[in-house]
């Protein structure tokens, strides 16, 4: 036990280095003076979108968010069904069926998110598509983008399904 504590304390200062606050986004998500960029700002800054491209991307993602409503609702209800099955002491087969339904809805949401990302990438000029860092940032930012039923263009958080 003491040995584990010593190694844990020795590793702790290394985990504290970097000063990025654990968001993992490099410099793409954090702005000056602690300001956090919204998803659209991250895309616009990362890809150096023109005013017209930014407008197109916003419209595209607005439409995708509206189109995700049914999947978002099904995801929430299937998640609740798992909890209800467990709380009601249902059989393992019934719990497994609820989990499978949830997995189906999670896969459907992921499909919508990746299709939206592909659509965003088609709006870019060829030189913008070569920005690997911006593509990686956009890819990871897309997870959970349509979970909020009111808006997609918020500061990314750790929400997930």
Cα separations in angstroms, 63 against 25, 116, 146: 26, 9, 11
Which residue is it, tokens 């990302």? 117
Per-residue pLDDT at 28:
46
Tell me phi and psi for residue 125, to 5 degrees.
-75, 155
Listing DSSP states for the chain in one string gives: -HHHHHHHHHHHHHHHTT-STT---TTSSB-GGGPBPPHHHHHHHHHT--HHHHHHHHHHHHHHHHHTHHHHHHHHHHHHHHHHHHHTT--HHHHHHHHHHHHHHHHHHHHHHHHHHHHHHHTS-TTGGG-HHHHHHHHHHHTTTT-SSS-S-S---S---
Per-residue pLDDT at 156:
85
- Local confidence pLDDT in tens for the 161 residues of the chain: 443 433 444 444 444 333 333 444 444 455 566 789 999 999 999 999 999 999 999 999 999 999 999 999 999 999 999 999 999 999 999 999 999 999 999 999 999 999 999 999 999 999 999 999 999 999 999 999 999 999 999 888 877 77
- The pair of structure tokens assigned to 129 is 């598509």
Is the domain covering 36-142 a CATH 3.30.70.120 domain?
no
Per-residue pLDDT at 140:
93
Tell me phi and psi for residue 49, to 5 degrees.
-70, 145
Instruction: Look up the pTM and report it.
Output: 0.76
Domain ranges of the chain: 36-142
């Amino acid at each position: 036990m003491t040995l584990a504590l010593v190694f844990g304390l020795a590793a702790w200062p290394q985990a504290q280095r970097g000063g990025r606050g654990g968001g993992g986004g490099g410099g793409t998500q954090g702005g000056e003076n602690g300001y956090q960029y919204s998803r659209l700002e991250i895309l616009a800054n990362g890809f150096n979108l023109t005013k017209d491209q930014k407008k197109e991307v916003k419209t595209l993602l607005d439409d995708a968010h509206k189109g995700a409503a049914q999947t978002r609702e099904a995801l929430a209800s299937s998640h609740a069904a798992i909890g209800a099955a467990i709380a009601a002491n249902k059989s393992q087969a019934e719990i497994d069926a609820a989990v499978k339904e949830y997995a189906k809805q999670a896969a459907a949401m992921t499909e919508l998110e990746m299709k939206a990302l592909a659509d965003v990438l088609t709006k870019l000029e060829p030189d913008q598509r070569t920005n690997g860092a911006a593509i990686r940032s956009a890819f990871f930012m897309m997870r959970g983008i349509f979970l909020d039923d009111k808006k997609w263009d918020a500061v990314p958080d750790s929400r997930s399904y």
